[in-house]
A and B are shown apart, each in its own frame.
Chain A
């Protein structure tokens, strides 16, 4: 009975967060921000009310999803050069993630900061190249920056790998996935967290991209579950974005 209640609550929140994302992208971002703020507060209240239950950590970790969107919308990014957006938003999301790790009492091993099965990690990391190429042909984004020197390009790639690769994987695979799987079960947790991370891509307004991101998310979730390490999936995610925004646009 308890499991059913937690499962229902989790999927309801995935739906609420998706509604928030649709509102941000299609209706009015201000309403979307208000919806995400309400979701965030309700998650923190639920986590406090159910503090003796394993789902408490699940609700705490889930709060990172609406918080991510609140932070990315409320920072006046237009004042910054485009290439620095990832580090500005990423730094605040990273701070939130570290607070969740401290409050939830998660260890470094729990969140996958470990170099288990290094050869498999290298293999997983290299999948980022084909993923980036395929996503480029789906989205065809503008180049992130033009006329950069080699050093600037390397620095920007490193920023993308850390702030979009590592930080996003830390949030979804490192924190939310283990807390959710502990509360609602392995299979449901894998699919649910993948749906959650995919819902934050609604803003691209591309159904092929949603399907693609869901498939990659599920691949990352399974890799993290089997290896227990965040290193390979973080690098793969980062390399996907480097290929998508830096390598492909000038040459395709």
Chain B
């Protein structure tokens, strides 16, 4: 089911499980985005830094989300 190709590339062979991963990643993205909104409203140094650190997973997960969304839209259209 799981296939490691190089250090970075690991994928699953079945589309059903792949969709579950996309869903989990979207949930993680929502959690990160809402946490960022909450923590940047506070002026405490630790929280400000935490808000900035959250950019690290948010940016690539947004790209992932856009890729997944585009594929799903194309799947419906085509």
Measured CB to CB, the residues of A under 8 A from B are 24-25, 29-30, 33-34, 37, 40, 44-45, 47-49, 51, 60, 63-64, 67-79, 85-86, 88-93, 95-96, 99-100, 103, 163-164, 167-168, 172, 197, 200-204, 241
Contact = CB atoms under 8 A, between A and B. Distances in A.
Interface in B28-78: 28, 45-47, 49-50, 52-57, 59-61, 63-64, 67-68, 71
23 contacts: A24-B10, A25-B4, A30-B21, A44-B53, A44-B56, A44-B57, A60-B53, A68-B8, A72-B8, A72-B9, A72-B10, A72-B11, A73-B11, A74-B61, A76-B67, A76-B68, A86-B6, A95-B59, A99-B56, A103-B55, A163-B8, A168-B7, A203-B10
A51 B5 CA distance: 36
B64 A92 contact: yes
Interface hub of B12, B53, B61, B71 (most chain A Cβ within 10 A): B53
Contacts of B13: 78
A164 B55 CA distance: 23
B52 to A, nearest CB: 6
Contacts of A168: 6-8
Contact of A85 (B5, B57, B67): B5
Contacts, number: 150
Interface residues of B, number: 43
B46 A74 contact: no
A71 to B, nearest CB: 6
Contacts of B47: 48
Contact of A75 (B1, B24, B53, B68): B68
A193 to B, nearest CB: 13
Contacts of B63: 91-92, 95
Contacts of B45: 51
A76 B22 contact: yes
Contacts of A75: 22, 64, 67-68
B19 A25 contact: no
Nearest to B10: A72
A96 B8 contact: no
Nearest to A206: B4
A29 B6 contact: no
